[in-house]
Structure 1
Amino acid sequence: MAQSSDTQHVCRPGLSHAKTMMFRYYQNVCTVSYSSVWWDWARWEREIDWMALNGINLPLAFTGQEALWQEVYRALGLNQTEIEEFFSGPAFLAWNRMGNMFEFGGPLPQSWHVKNLFLQFKILERMRSFGMLPVLPAFSGNIPRGILRLYPNASVTRLGPWAQFNCSFSCAYILDPRDPLFLQIGSLYLSEVVKRFGTDHIYNTDTFNEMTPPSSEPEYLAAVSRSVFASMTAVDPQAVWLMQGWLFFSSAWFWKPPQIKALLQGVPIGRMIVLDLFAETEPIFTYTESFYGQPFIWCMLQNFGGNSGFFGQVESINSGPFQALKFPNSTLVGLGLTPEGIEQNPVMYELMTELAWRKEPVNLSKWVSLYAMRRYGSTDENLVAAWQLLFSSVYNCTVPHYKNHNHSPLVRRPSLKMNTEIWYNPADLFNAWKLMIEAAPPLMAEETFRYDLVDITREALQVLTSAFYMDIAESFRNKALPELLTAGGVLVHDLLPELDRLLSSDGNFLLGTWLERARSSALGEKEAQLYDMNARNQITLWGPSGEIVDYASKEWGGLVEDYYAQRWGLFITTLVECLDSGRPFNQDAFKQEVFKIEQGFVYNGRKYPTKPSGDTYEIARRIFLKYYPQAMKRF
């Protein structure tokens, strides 16, 4: 489901040594998903400044595009109802723009269009003032259903459901690129984009993202890319098409060499740039002869869903770009950041942005030692030792296509068949935690240290949750009620409440901040309720019926208490009742009951604090003294 990114909350201290420019033409970051949807201008300005400080020069600039689509579709003759049913709600626009889903979470209020259109003007002005080349949106062929009323003879195909969701989000209608209407709509839209936003001649659109094309014939696929590109050059003869390469991985069963080559070579060589979106894990350039001659950007995806949780592949990202540069007939033109959410794991983005300036891989041990000193302004050896432990374990996943990436049982809908596997030795994490606690007292005034202390304590409790879950599951299988009550009681009545208190002590980990940003985007209470539902649904059910439940999970103060702890409480209660009555646990029945909790949270309207409360150090120290000895016995 890879699309795009938002940003981090935490400070990023500048590098203390000179950077040497290497092969950097483009250093790309995508900025149109998850929390960025609620950003105001102050937050956008901060992000663009961070981009400039880190050498980002090719950012996506997608804000406000729905306002222009509305104008184009009105000009074509669609009525307001037909337009409104096409757009999703704000929290899901990234997928709406790629044709994965429509309508859910909407309709978009007119005030949304106005606000985001003017926000885009400021975003573009700021980006260009730093010499960046903003990437603007173009037409991929996804159309509103209402087009069929206006053009009943148009060649339109209704694609199958996105990711096998049985059209829960409404199946996409795609206009055949060979139909003359394709060029008409595509050029009409891009003309409006260029007129309103200006241009730097690079445009993004993604065909068939996680969707199966109507035909696998190379001739058809080449016609698709020719038509998309023609709709660009009809407006801008200098146009360059930037596209994601994600589809070649996500639908590898469909995209074989003939199909990939046809799509890519339907555009003149050099007039397309491909984002090798998941290159740290699945570098597509290696089996496509460097994208069959088209320039590409080696990208670190890093995080799906903007999930909380430590994760990284430091060895892969440290070596991968340089291997790509040496690949036979390499067409590499830069490095990129393409996560779905980057408000976590700041060290990974610090490392990745530096590599674009390097001539060779860094010494990771030395690099992270310097990082620890820069980040906290301290030479405490405990901090260096802690980060060396983290970099060699939790941030160095070497398992191909790791299945439990940031999906701890803590934030998953409970069942008796949960994945508790992790890719690192948990003892390394707990030892690093101990070192951070010992270094803490003189550093609590540093925002970066407080953030990391909360984060490492959160990670420790996340791992311990898995351990208690295994105790719970084993006790149930053994029909050991006292043991089940003990493990379940500790998890629900102590560990999770302590975690919620910890997260609530730092402003970077508050559910209330997320919801307040959403509501403050509204003009009036009705809109505020719509945005509130969007914000809550995205981080929990992700769809009307939990189609991708927990996909964008977050460990935030308020969310742990009112959502995750409530689900775990119901799970423990249900298991106890099953043992008392002698009946087996029924996952389907539990799913129906837990859905009531999940849906209730989405619509409960409760307000959550937007300011931190409690003493972070005292809470973290209390948790450490209570749980570290248990952790060392277990691991």
Structure 2
Amino acid sequence: MRPFRTAAVGGLGLALVVGMFGSGPATASAAAPARPDRPAFSTAAARGVVDRMIPGWSSKIELGTLAPAPSGKEQYRIGRDKGEVLISGSSPSALLNGVGQYLKYTAHRDISWSSDASAEPLAVKGRPPLPASTVTRTANVSHRVLSNDTADGYTNAYWDWDRWQREIDVAALHGINEFFMPVGMEAVYQQTMRQFGYSEAEMRAWIPMPAHQPWWLLQNMSNFTSDQESQALIDSRAALGRKIADRMRTMGMEPIFPGYFGTVPSGFVAKNPGAAVVPQGDWSGTRRPDWLDPRTAVFGKVAAAFYRSQKQLFGDTGAFKMDLLHEGGKAGTVPVGDAAKAVQSALDLAHPDATWVILGWQSNPGAALLSGVDRSRMLIVDGLTDRYADSDATADPNKLFGGTPYAFGAIWNFGGHTTLGANTGVWNKRFFAQLDRPGTALDGIAVLPEANDNNDAAFEFLTELAWQPAAPDQAQWFSRFADARYGADPHAEAAWKIISGTAYSLPADGWSEAQDGLFGAAPSLTTTNAAAWSPDAMRYDPVAFERALDELLQVSPALRGNALYQYDVVDVARQVLSNRSRSWLPQIMAAYDAKDRPLLKKLSQQWLGSMSTLDALLGSRPEFQLGGWLKYGSDAATTPADKAAVQRDMRSLITNWGGRSGVDAGLGDYANREWSGLVGDYYLDRWQQYFRSLDTALAQGTAPAAIDWYTVGEDWIAKRTPLPATPSGDPVRLATALRDQLRKDGLADRVTLKTASPYLDPAKPLTVTATVRNGNGLTSTDRVSAVLTPPAGVRLTTPATVTTGRIAPGKSATLSWTVRADSAPTTPTVRLRAAVSVTHAGSTTAAVAGVDTPVAAAPKAGTDYLSDLPFIDAQGGYGPWERDTSNGEEAPGDGHTLTMLGTTYAKGLGTNSDATVTFYLGGQCSSFSMTAGIDDDMRGADKDPRVTVSVLGDGTSLGRSGELNRTAPLWQPTVDITGVQLLTLRVDKVKDVNWYDHTDLADAKVVCA
């Protein structure tokens, strides 16, 4: 695919001609001397970046031009000329990337994406160091794309020009040459729809406030609040957007504008007879805009007006972002291929030879869409490249997209989560494997986190892949990254080696981001994530990760004043504490379940105290302050009414996100983040309310009072209490104090209680074992003791108290007891409970662990439905095994009537892969039968369930289905189970994605003597 076309602009009086863009020769002020072997372009824009970022060295670093590589690809060269540093490039983008690489690897003065330290010019002394040798690098792809659509909401909805200028400069220094630019595009829609019968009032009621506009541009939603963006704000954003686009063009960056693909307000047909629209329904509880049929003449008129207005307001470009039918959009009776062809034709009329940029996400772009377009003029920025296993279709974009040019993308952040981590090892393997494939369509990288300015290591690793001749050694790369940020230090290198091997070595296991913390979750004892669609468990070893904090705090005192070091210390300490929340909450739940009110109070106070500690730590760096982010909004608004609306817009996005229906659909806390002010002013209050309700429930012997978290969120959104926008406190001192505090913590330890047999046989002794894993990566345990308390009818035959000695970080020890029943217990299940005391650094922490053990009892003679028998063991996929209902994915009883191929069943089991369930038969049964298949709620054309079902007797396979999917016949086995003690049913996924695998085991029953 040819690179995008770049139009000449006059933002700085420059007409750029860059070899990669093929615009032809042109003159330019301050142009470098033209030579036959070199392209003619101005280095003035690059000089401007150097002047702004490193003014102390600006006059001491020479910038020059360079011919493209023999392959025609861009290249840069770092060398010396007459005792001065000379950096040359074949394009402004290549040149600026060379400057960034020089600063990083020769001068060890990395320019960070995240840290506000880079907002100020680098303080440098003396002369810039000369490179030891000449370094030449050639780009291996043409497109180096930055920014997810959503970043304009989650990050930069209200940024000012200074902040945008810094973002563009940093992007340029990392080789970005294409940048999504939606700022102010509401003005285009406003001007366009005015020509099709809409008043100013109607348009302003339809257009969301800026922080929510990305999803409007994606055709997911329209305004759902009473707030409206003022005309003054619309105009100022349009002016800012023009300034941003002009600056990008002068620096050799192609601004990628939103294109027009059919979004219209309600009532369009009534205002425009002859138009045809497809209602789009709802998206996550909000109403979607209608879709104007692209095949109609009216569509062509609207598109032409849209592109005219856009060009008038923002200038020209060669790339337009359009996600046709994004995230569940409905085509109705419109053939998708024909619609796509019409969308591209309208774009061609306005911008001949322009490129259609589309996000590779979920099922988009599908084969039907791709069949209708000139694929050579499309670029897919693939957001799924690193997410799924090698066997999944998304792992092979060349095949998946039928040879359509694509950029290797990564979304390591959703909603602005502050969590550290990315699938960098997957990138390193797959990028070069796909690039080296004969005839590959890979021609770019795409930096696509939903919020920008986080995970510097991920940003820099991905952008550097575009210039690497082969896959770099990841451990070595991270060691050099540490040197570039602070200067050489063995402890810094050791810290980043640990971080590389944990948070940045995540597998392709269905996720592309690391787990979020639980402090930002709507309070619950069973919550496993703060955002509904984020990982519900750790994706790396948190104990190993914690050692990175210890190493960072041993970095030489001479380097501790470095702003990037301070940023990293806060970020790593924050992550350590955030990870600990996942160890602590189950122990709080265990204390509540045990009705141990004093222990519950102690543990909840530690939780709340840690949140206050976290808030103070975050407040020591500007990058982690909510007040600073909100200040951009306050400064962008000029009237009290605008300021109030803007604050509601921003506060809503990071809490409730939308209305009540949106929260109910899962959007609540989707954009959670660990920021000072958000933690201390919002999350802390929620957990305080929740723990009070638990304490009251135990005191009164009642269920906890229900708390409407949506209303709590709305109350906070309405608050106008000023939050600090400037940092306070010493980051290193606060991180050190936190480290010392966490060394004493035993709540990070994992205590589990298991029995040697999955059931208690009244005629036999039973061994009970407590396993204590030292989850404190900062210190060993001093002493561990445990006391087992059996219930009535069960007695200990060994001492109740057992102890063990020192346990190293990440290691485990076991403590065991033997129990037996005095007689047959009167309950079907007995609960065994152990109280464990763990001492770390002289501080003792109490924990409780329990196990519910079924009492062995064979089914009654005759026919017994398994849904009426006790589970000896049950492990569900999404949600628990359901009795007599289908799987509901969350809580017991949230499914519906078992239904397969239109037939309903009153009895049976419901689950989602991967799942197992076991029953005790005691050798008393002779046969087992069932009807197994996919529940009808997952048989839609947009679903892809695939499972197998197995029957096992005492661990031996007794039968297995073929693949059960939405079209396969049901499996109806009858199995001989004579003599079987334990019957196990297992449901396994066939493909790597198991979101749709709702499986019913209807009429599952045994015949017993």
TM-score (norm 2): 0.58
Residue from 647, 651, 658 that aligns with 1:536: 651
Q: Which residue of 1 aligns with 2:382?
A: 276
Residue from 165, 168, 188 that aligns with 1:45: 165
Task: Work out whether 1:394 is the aligned partner of 2:503.
Answer: yes
Q: Which residue of 1 aligns with 2:291?
A: 174
Q: Which residue of 2 aligns with 1:564?
A: 683
Q: Which residue of 1 aligns with 2:183?
A: 63
Q: Secondary structure at the match of 1:136?
A: strand
The 5 Å alignment of 1:31-110 reads 32-105=152-225, 106-110=227-231
Q: Which residue of 2 aligns with 1:525?
A: 640
Task: Work out whether 1:515 is the aligned partner of 2:656.
Answer: no
Q: Which residue of 2 aligns with 1:470?
A: 586
Residue from 350, 354, 359 that aligns with 1:244: 359
In structure 2, do the counterparts of structure 1 residues 396 and 11 end up closer, same or farther at CA, with 3 Å as the change threshold? Answer: farther
Q: Which residue of 2 aligns with 1:550?
A: 669
Identity %: 27
CA contact (8 A) 1:89 1:103 kept: yes
TM-score (norm 1): 0.91
* Residue 186 of structure 1: how far off its partner (Å): 0.9
* Residue 288 of structure 1: how far off its partner (Å): 6.1
Distance 2:337 2:385 in 1: 24
* Residue 584 of structure 1: how far off its partner (Å): 2.9
Task: Identify the range of structure 1 (324-333 vs 466-475) with the bigger mean alpha-carbon deviation.
Answer: 324-333
Q: Which residue of 2 aligns with 1:456?
A: 572
Distance 2:373 2:198 in 1: 31
Distance 1:111 1:9 in 2: 31
Q: Secondary structure at the match of 2:157?
A: helix
CA contact (8 A) 1:304 1:552 kept: yes
Q: Which one-letter code corresponds to 1:123 in the other structure?
A: I
Q: Which residue of 1 aligns with 2:520?
A: 411
The 5 Å alignment of 1:81-480 reads 81-105=201-225, 106-162=227-283, 165=284, 168-215=285-332, 220-248=335-363, 260-282=366-388, 284=394, 286=396, 289=399, 291-327=401-437, 329-377=439-487, 379-398=488-507, 400-402=509-511, 405-419=514-528, 421-439=537-555, 441-480=557-596
In structure 2, do the counterparts of structure 1 residues 505 and 11 end up closer, same or farther at CA, with 3 Å as the change threshold? Answer: closer
Q: Which one-letter code corresponds to 1:154 in the other structure?
A: A
* Residue 346 of structure 1: how far off its partner (Å): 0.8
Q: Which residue of 1 aligns with 2:20?
A: none
Task: Identify the range of structure 1 (144-153 vs 603-612) with the bigger mean alpha-carbon deviation.
Answer: 144-153
Q: Secondary structure at the match of 1:299?
A: strand
Distance 1:295 1:505 in 2: 45
* Residue 396 of structure 1: how far off its partner (Å): 1.3
* Residue 441 of structure 1: how far off its partner (Å): 3.5
Q: Secondary structure at the match of 1:20?
A: strand
Q: Which one-letter code corresponds to 1:386 in the other structure?
A: A
Q: Secondary structure at the match of 2:115?
A: coil
Q: Which one-letter code corresponds to 2:654 in the other structure?
A: I
Distance 1:376 1:19 in 2: 25
In structure 2, do the counterparts of structure 1 residues 384 and 286 end up closer, same or farther at CA, with 3 Å as the change threshold? Answer: same
CA contact (8 A) 2:379 2:404 kept: yes
* Residue 542 of structure 1: how far off its partner (Å): 0.5
CA contact (8 A) 1:404 1:421 kept: no
Distance 1:464 1:276 in 2: 33
* Residue 370 of structure 1: how far off its partner (Å): 0.8
Q: Secondary structure at the match of 1:36?
A: coil
Distance 2:219 2:597 in 1: 50
Q: Which one-letter code corresponds to 2:367 in the other structure?
A: K
* Residue 19 of structure 1: how far off its partner (Å): 5.8
Q: Secondary structure at the match of 1:32?
A: helix
Distance 1:404 1:23 in 2: 26
Distance 2:542 2:259 in 1: 46
Q: Secondary structure at the match of 1:278?
A: coil
CA contact (8 A) 1:276 1:284 kept: no
Q: Secondary structure at the match of 2:396?
A: helix
Distance 2:480 2:170 in 1: 20
Higher relative contact order, structure no. (Cα contacts within 8 Å, ≥ 6 residues apart): 1
Distance 1:360 1:403 in 2: 23
User: Which blocks of at least 5 consecutive residues in structure 1 are unaligned?
Assistant: 1-5, 250-254
Q: Secondary structure at the match of 2:439?
A: coil
- Aligned residues, how many? 609
Task: Identify the range of structure 1 (133-142 vs 29-38) with the bigger mean alpha-carbon deviation.
Answer: 29-38
Q: Secondary structure at the match of 2:580?
A: helix
CA contact (8 A) 1:512 1:610 kept: yes
Q: CA RMSD in A?
A: 2.3
Deviations 1:178-230 (A, max 9, x none): 22111110111112222333323221111111123234x7x801111111111
User: Which blocks of at least 5 consecutive residues in structure 2 are unaligned?
Assistant: 1-111, 123-127, 529-535, 750-773, 777-1009
Q: Secondary structure at the match of 1:135?
A: strand
Q: Which one-letter code corresponds to 2:607 in the other structure?
A: L
Deviations 1:294-333 (A, max 9, x none): 2111111111111111121120111221122134532111
CA contact (8 A) 2:207 2:213 kept: yes
CA contact (8 A) 2:515 2:537 kept: no
Deviations 1:538-569 (A, max 9, x none): 11111122521111111111111111111111
* Residue 155 of structure 1: how far off its partner (Å): 1.2
Distance 2:656 2:178 in 1: 33
Task: Work out whether 1:609 is the aligned partner of 2:750.
Answer: no
Distance 1:78 1:248 in 2: 34
CA contact (8 A) 2:325 2:331 kept: no
CA contact (8 A) 1:322 1:361 kept: yes
CA contact (8 A) 1:290 1:330 kept: no
Distance 2:293 2:188 in 1: 22
Q: Secondary structure at the match of 1:438?
A: coil
CA contact (8 A) 2:155 2:452 kept: no
Distance 1:285 1:70 in 2: 40
CA contact (8 A) 1:542 1:551 kept: yes
Q: Which one-letter code corresponds to 1:122 in the other structure?
A: K
In structure 2, do the counterparts of structure 1 residues 136 and 404 end up closer, same or farther at CA, with 3 Å as the change threshold? Answer: closer
Q: Which one-letter code corresponds to 2:319 in the other structure?
A: I
Distance 2:682 2:513 in 1: 21
